[in-house]
């Protein structure tokens, strides 16, 4: 099969179709999408080598599987299920885990991929495959609500109106909080507004503008500094950005202001699929362009441009 393999540079290579081990199934990839993590991996993040990609919708082709012939999305962390962290409800933190297209596990930018059957979720018929490809990043957005209690009376600043920021903004809107999404790019602010999101240029923020909760999802190392500047004392900062080179921050200001800093990563798929199924989150306007798999290198060139939101690959 053809796959996008990363080893110093990304290239399309002919590789063998993967063979699923016990408990895993073979999945034919239908759609995938490019995430900031993929772009960071190409810069050296995680030191990953292998087939890239972790956001996908596919059809199970292993005939013994209960999902055989059906459309699925898959959780990206493959954990051991037996260690202390797995047994205490933290399987995304299993020290023995591999992660689809990110760590020790070949990804989805290929004809086929392999995942444990227990990682899979059926995609309801009424969710289009191009929309279902957003399940993984939307689950990461919903994870914030698993981690902290957010009261409707609290105001929220979201930094970054990109791939993840627009999903997070849509989820916060459901909570009834006064939320403003900031970006440095005029086109991203315009895009957010066209989706009914309250958005503004970050340059318009004055020093006294502050929020009880700041969510940092700019994808840039210096975003964290900006977010901290606009957080009230005892406020909460949610960090979503992972980058190849991270910024040093002044810890004194965290002590003095008693800031609470919460790292946030992968989330549950069920609530994400439910939000998509109920049309409470609509990622459709975020799709900038759909490329065929043969054009995936071009798709990457496109995905790094600042005016681009989400690039989808049709396999």
According to DSSP, residue 35 is labeled -
The interface region with Zn ion, picked from 74-82, 172-180, 281-289, 306-314 by CB under 5 A, is: 74-82
Encoded tokens for 191 = 């895009």
Q: C-beta of 298: minimal distance to Zn ion in Å?
A: 20
Is residue 94 part of the contact set for Zn ion (CB under 5 A)?
yes
Q: Kindly tell me which of 83 and 290 has the beta carbon lying closer to Zn ion.
A: 83
The interface region with Zn ion, picked from 93-101, 105-113, 125-133, 225-233 by CB under 5 A, is: 93-101
The interface region with Zn ion, picked from 5-13, 31-39, 111-119, 173-181 by CB under 5 A, is: 31-39
Q: In degrees rounded to 5, what are phi and psi of residue 216?
A: -105, 110
Q: Out of 24, 65, 79, 241, point to the residue binding Zn ion (CB under 5 A).
A: 79
Q: Say if CB 132 and CB 123 are below 8 A apart.
A: yes
Name the nearest CA neighbour of 123 among 161, 69, 80, 189: 69
Partners of 6 in the β-ladder: 10, 50
Q: Out of 83, 200, 221, 268, point to the residue binding Zn ion (CB under 5 A).
A: 83
Is residue 86 part of the contact set for Zn ion (CB under 5 A)?
yes
Q: Say if CB 264 and CB 147 are below 8 A apart.
A: yes
Partners of 214 in the β-ladder: 157, 237
Is residue 35 part of the contact set for Zn ion (CB under 5 A)?
yes
Is residue 138 part of the contact set for Zn ion (CB under 5 A)?
no
| 162 C-beta neighbours (distance < 10 Å), count | 22
Is residue 76 part of the contact set for Zn ion (CB under 5 A)?
no
**Sign of the CA dihedral running 156, 158, 161, 163:** negative
Q: Out of 42, 61, 80, 221, point to the residue binding Zn ion (CB under 5 A).
A: 80
Where does this chain bind Zn ion (CB under 5 A)?
A: 35, 37, 79-80, 83, 86, 94
């Amino acid at each position: 099969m053809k796959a996008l393999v990363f080893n110093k540079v990304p290239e399309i290579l002919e590789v063998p179709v993967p063979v699923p081990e016990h408990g895993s199934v073979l999945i034919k990839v239908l759609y995938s999408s490019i995430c900031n993590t993929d772009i960071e991996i190409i810069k050296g993040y995680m030191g990953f080598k292998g087939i890239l990609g972790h956001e996908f919708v596919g059809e199970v082709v292993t005939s013994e599987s209960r999902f055989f012939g059906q459309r699925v999305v898959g959780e990206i962390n493959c954990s051991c299920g037996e260690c202390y962290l797995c047994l205490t409800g933290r399987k995304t933190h299993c020290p023995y885990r591999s992660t689809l297209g990110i760590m020790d596990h070949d990804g989805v930018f290929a004809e086929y991929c392999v995942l444990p059957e227990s990682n899979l979720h059926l995609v309801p018929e009424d969710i289009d495959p191009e929309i279902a490809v957003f399940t993984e990043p939307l689950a990461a957005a919903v994870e914030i609500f698993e981690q902290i209690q957010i009261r409707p009376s609290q105001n929220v600043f979201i930094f970054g109106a990109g791939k993840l920021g627009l999903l997070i903004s849509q989820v916060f809107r459901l909570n009834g909080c006064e939320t403003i999404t900031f970006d440095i790019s005029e086109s991203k602010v315009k895009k957010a507004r066209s989706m009914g999101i309250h958005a503004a240029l970050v340059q318009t923020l004055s020093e006294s503008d502050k929020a009880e909760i700041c969510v940092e999802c700019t994808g840039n190392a210096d975003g964290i500094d900006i977010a901290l500047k606009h957080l009230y004392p005892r406020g909460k900062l949610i960090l979503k950005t992972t980058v190849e080179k991270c910024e040093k921050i002044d810890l004194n200001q965290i002590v003095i202001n008693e800031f609470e800093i919460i790292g946030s990563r992968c989330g549950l798929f069920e609530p994400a699929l439910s939000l998509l199924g109920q049309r409470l989150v609509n990622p459709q306007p975020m799709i900038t362009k759909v490329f065929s798999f043969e054009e995936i290198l071009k798709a990457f060139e496109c995905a790094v441009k600042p005016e681009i939101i989400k690039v989808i690959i049709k396999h």
